[in-house]
Structures are given as C-alpha cells and as structure tokens.
Amino acid sequence: MRLVLASNNAKKLKELQALFAALPIELVTQGSLGVTEAEEPFHTFVENGLAKARHASVATGLPAIADDSGLCVDALGGQPGVASAHFAPLPEAAAGHSDREALRRLQDEANNSLLLQRLAGAADRRARFVSTLVAVRSAADPEPLIAFGRWEGTVLAQPVGSGGFGYDPLLHIPALGRAVAELPAELKNQHSHRALAARQLAALMRGAWRLG
C-alpha cells in the first residue's frame, strides 16, 4: 500500500520508514507529490494531525499518515506544544535561504535558545516529547486511526549531542542516562515518543486495515 506522509521533513520520513519497516507500505512525502503543507490552526496534536492527514489525502487521492508532535514543558503550561516547530521567530540569518533543511536547522537553534531563555532559573524542568500519529484511508474516512506516544524527560541547561533534530539536544531521558541527541538512531527508534505511537498505529493498521 502506498501512503503519503503529510510532512516534508526528510528526517521524519526516514524515522517513520524505519518504524514501519515491517508493514507492507511505501511512505512518500507530500512534497514529492507537489502537495503544500496544511494549515494547523488547532490547539491539540490530534486535531492538527487529522487536518494534515485529510489535507494530504484530498490532494493526492491516497491514504495518508500524519504526525503531529512536539515538546510539552510542565513549567510552561505545556508549551511549546503544537507550536514546537515554530516556537521562536526565524533569525535574521535565515533571510535569503532557500534550502529547506538549512532553514530547519536555523529554526531549531532559535527554538532551543528561546526555550532555555523561558526556563532560566526554573526549578521544575520536567518535559516530554509527545507524538500523535493519524492515518486515514481517504479524506472522508469516518474511522481515522489515532495513536499516541509520550517520552518523559527533563530539559537540560544547554544543548548536548549531535544527532536527531528539533529539541533532541535539550531533552535528557533519565531512563537512558543521555539526551535524545546523544542516542544512536537504533536506540531512539526503540524508545522514542514516535516509536511508541508507531507501534500502536502499526497494530491498529494490521487490525482495522488488514495489513501485515
């Protein structure tokens, strides 16, 4: 089965391809099919995930999977939450950049910097990565499959590690004794919020969609 991933994030595509490797599906990004990104006007991951999956399915006529995920910090009342990807304004250095991955790196750096500013002096640094995966057979699918994953950690005082993306250099996972950006991809794909959600979604797809 060919499914369109409602994202243009190459690293997210690679991660999800690894997580769904056991299923008979082919994931392709919406960007490779000429689909623009959907509006994400809602306050919850599940609502935005549904909006993105339906948008991709409408545009392509294919079943779609969307991941809406982010970092929720207790001391900030759950922020940055659904605004995680664009928590901070793009820095001036981004002006004139046309390379999507370069812009994403600049945005990540700005987001991490703002998060550390907001948490300056905070005693409570508990946080979690949250992933909501949504799959629809069509834009009008009355029975979307929805899976959730939560990965508990604490926000560090400064970034460490060079792997992953987004807030990975700042979230320390006590159970593993390392920041997410310090984990090899194989270990991350076993324990992450997205891995937890992917395992749930794979089980739902095997049952409801008769895959695998």
CB 199 within 8 A of CB 99: no
Residue 159, burial from CB neighbour count under 10 angstroms (0-12, 13-18, 19+): middle
Dmax of the chain from CA atoms?
51
Residue 192, burial from CB neighbour count under 10 angstroms (0-12, 13-18, 19+): buried
CA-to-CA dists, residue 10 to 14, 139, 164, angstroms: 6, 24, 12
68 is catalytic: yes
Which is the catalytic residue, given 67, 68, 108, 168? 68
CB 1 within 8 A of CB 205: no
Q: Which residues are catalytic?
A: 68
